[in-house]
Amino acid sequence: MQPDSQKTNTSDPTGNRPLIALRKVGKSYSTPAGEFPALREIDLEIDSGEFVALTGRSGSGKSTLLNLIGGLDRPNRGEVIVAGVSVHQVPENALARWRGRNVGVVFQFFQLLPTLTIAENVMLPMDFCDARPARERRAHALELLDRVGIAEQADKLPSALSGGQQQRAAIARALANDPPIVIADEPTGNLDSETSRAVLGLFRRLSDRGTTVVIATHERDISGVIDRTVELVDGTVTAGLSAATGRPEQGGE
């Protein structure tokens, strides 16, 4: 009996490999001194389910690259293709909704809305994308908070939580609409080292469940937790261009 290939369980709903592809991407900023090239001719592919760390000194282009992947910014040249969509061509008025469903975003300073409870913060992207019936949203938020280990904080305001707990809440919020991709810009930059390890472990588990995770980071000693390091120097990728081959495939359930 042949298995039905249509039902093969892949973590990439589009069946596209790579899930993220940048082709000859250039991004420059206009400054008083003229055009400043933040990214030069980037060719980069990231597979579905990979956990990739962007490294490099401050100013090397990590945030710019993440922002292009998340459709938070647009390239001047080249193509950014994410889950089969040419993100650089998505009209401005459709970008936020596209991002809401496809890319969960985590920031260094958490950016939780201070007047909403933790559960309400996690429900916001669900409300925005209308991704599931309103009556199911709170239960889903509680499930996500449980997954990141802070279910008991659900009805508190962000200010009542520690930095590490706030970042866990921000990760739960990023997962609200079950996006295939999570990007995080220095997500441990404001956390102590023990909390940082726990947060990186959360991303590792996400990746093991099939989510593609791309972070910018200055953390050392991450080689054990990530699949691949992509190193940037002055807007150019100098190492880690292609997918690591050493990591064993995650088996099915």
**Positions in the binding site for Mg ion (CB under 5 A):** 62-63
**Residue partners of 119: CB distance under 8 A and separation at least 6:** 138, 141, 142, 145, 154, 155
| CB contact set of 152 (below 8 Å; sequence gap of 6+) | none
Member of 29, 94, 134, 209 binding ligand ADP (CB under 6 A): 29
207 is a contact residue toward ligand ADP (CB under 6 A):
no
- Considering only 21, 38, 172, 181, the residue that binds ligand ADP (CB under 6 A) is 38
Min dist CB 58 to Mg ion, Å, is 7
Amino acid identity at 114: P
12 or 219, CB closer to ligand ADP? Answer: 219
**Looking at beta carbons only, is 161 or 216 nearer to ligand ADP?**
216
Which residues, 6+ apart, have CB-to-CB distance to 193 below 8 Å?
none
* Amino acid (1-letter code) at residue 223: S
Assess 214 for contact with ligand ADP (CB under 6 A).
no
Question: Which of these ranges, 7-15, 41-49, 58-66, 221-229, lies near ligand ADP under the rule CB under 6 A?
Answer: 58-66
Residue type, 240: G
**Which residue has the closest beta carbon to Mg ion?**
63
Q: At closest approach, how far in Å is the CB of 123 from Mg ion?
A: 29
Of the pair 18, 56, the CB lying nearest ligand ADP is at 56
239 contacts ligand ADP (rule: CB under 6 A): no
- Give least dist CB 56 to Mg ion, A: 9
Contact partner at residue 59 from ligand ADP, Mg ion, none, CB < 5 to 8 Å by partner kind? ligand ADP
Asked if 61 is part of the footprint of ligand ADP (rule: CB under 6 A), the reply reads yes
Closest CB to ligand ADP among residues 62, 137: 62
List residues binding ligand ADP (CB under 6 A): 29, 31, 36, 38, 56, 58-64, 216
